[in-house]
Structure 1
Amino acid sequence: MGHSRRWNAWLAGLVLSCASLPSLASHAIYTGRIGNSGITVVIESRNAVQRAIYSYDRYRTPIRLKPAFLHQTRDLGMDELDAAGLPIARLRFDVASFHRSTPRLTGTWTDYRSGRSLPLELELVAYLDYDEAWPDGAHPLLQAASSERFYFQVPMGGSAAAVGAIEVMQKSDGQRLQTLELPQPGCNRGMDTVQVVLERGRTQLRMAQTAHCPGAVFEWNPAEARFEDRLR
């Protein structure tokens, strides 16, 4: 009877622990073009749902797409959202397969206001599965949140791996300004690992803290022109 109680307690703790952690996902990273404009696209597949962001190489500002069950839709499309969360365009894929087995994607981008359509062409450059990466090594995963001057990346070797650093990238030239090493490895939440907030007029980068995930807060110091760890 005692063994049974211990087993049940262990099982309940395991279920609670798993429920509190981010669910497993895969991330496909592409480069390509919409019309003549270069873009970078990240597509996350989690629990049969696809979420995505993309950015124009010229502007380097991440743009969110509305989550979709692409295997259940007829046109295999995802709506592009503006800053208010309203759909303004649609990215449609000829094939909704975001895996190493489909290294090239084609489709169209259509502006809802004008009806103008442009061809979409993408090439797979990295695929981050639950416990491994292709090609081997760490790959920068673009974050959905950005600031006026910066966008952010987290180097990842697999979608389930803990995050050890945040890369601060300049929108003006695409160069890395700073690499922020985390005092403790943080939980991987995919494209939403890093949050950007304005606190007392200063930009902060935050990683959420939970019972199983150590948090992190970095704040922009204008005098030093860099982000500094606020928790140290």
Structure 2
Amino acid sequence: MGFPRGWIVWLAGLAWLAASSPALASYAVYTGRIGQSDITFVIESRNAVQRAVYFYDRYRTPIRLKPAFLHRTRDFGMDELDAAGLPVARLRFDNANFFRSTPRLTGNWIDYRSGKTLPLELELVAYLDYDGAWPAGHHPLLQAASSEGFYFQIPMDEDDAAVHAIEVMDKSSGKRWQTLELSQPGCNRGMETVQVVLERGVTQLRMAQTPHCPGMVFEWNPAEERFEDRLH
């Protein structure tokens, strides 16, 4: 016996959402300090796995952390990775609760090479999940990839499957340089939505193409000092 047409449409919608959107993902955005240095820290929780990226506000170059199962171990720590993907330091948290119920986090940062330890303090400034955004409104989700002069954000108000724009941010000032409006909504891949690729010496921003997600490519035009859509 076949499904009624309404059920077929509903099941197809669920299949598209599962393929295109991070399942049951939440994002917590913090500001705080490592030692005396101001930082911005973003952590994604999805299917019991935590992924995070942060930058020092002075430099605004995103630093990746190695994914971890923080809720399944008593060692609430994540390794900081260098450009080659090797662990160079560890961020350890006194509590692994990255939700609105815990607006302040403490811990420490430990340099693997020197053993130097600095206090870590974070204050929650935004929280986004499938129920909506706190506080209400749009919030920028920091991307893990960056270029020499820019870092990137995607505006979010909840854990949507659709991404409608990419914000190009100037590292030197922290101000928005350009907003790239997508001709078709792209799929939300969390902090890995935007990829940065050097193609024939030219910087490109890419969003991966899949059967359910349109691909996007923006290329840097040095004459205009702008990224331009290469597919439309």
| One-letter amino acid of the structure 2 residue matched with residue 116 of structure 1 | K
SS in 1 for 2:71: helix
Task: Report the number of matched residues.
Answer: 231
- Aligned match of 1:90: 90
- Aligned match of 2:31: 31
**1:160, distance to aligned residue in structure 2 (A):** 2.4
Q: Distance in 1 between matches of 2:5 and 2:126?
A: 43
- Aligned match of 1:21: 20
SS in 2 for 1:191: helix
Decide whether the 8 Å contact of 1:131 with 1:161 is kept in 2.
no
Decide whether the 8 Å contact of 2:22 with 2:188 is kept in 1.
no
CA distance 1:165–1:13, change in 2 (3 Å):
closer
CA distance 1:160–1:86, change in 2 (3 Å):
same
Gaps of 5+ in 2: none
CA distance 1:167–1:6, change in 2 (3 Å):
closer
Identity score, percent: 75
RMSD: 1.8
CA distance 1:8–1:183, change in 2 (3 Å):
closer
**1:185, distance to aligned residue in structure 2 (A):** 1.3
Q: How do residues 94-109 of structure 1 correspond to structure 2 at under 5 angstroms?
A: 94-109=94-109
Q: Distance in 2 between matches of 1:5 and 1:21?
A: 25
CA distance 1:6–1:107, change in 2 (3 Å):
same
SS in 2 for 1:44: strand
- Aligned match of 1:136: 136
User: TM-score, normalised to structure 1's length?
Assistant: 0.94
Matched, 1:163 2:163: yes
**1:9, distance to aligned residue in structure 2 (A):** 7.0
SS in 2 for 1:40: strand
**1:34, distance to aligned residue in structure 2 (A):** 0.1
Q: Distance in 2 between matches of 1:57 and 1:13?
A: 43
Matched, 1:113 2:118: no
SS in 2 for 1:113: coil
Q: Which runs of structure 1 show a deviation greater than 4 angstroms over 4 or more consecutive aligned residues?
A: 4-16
| One-letter amino acid of the structure 1 residue matched with residue 65 of structure 2 | L
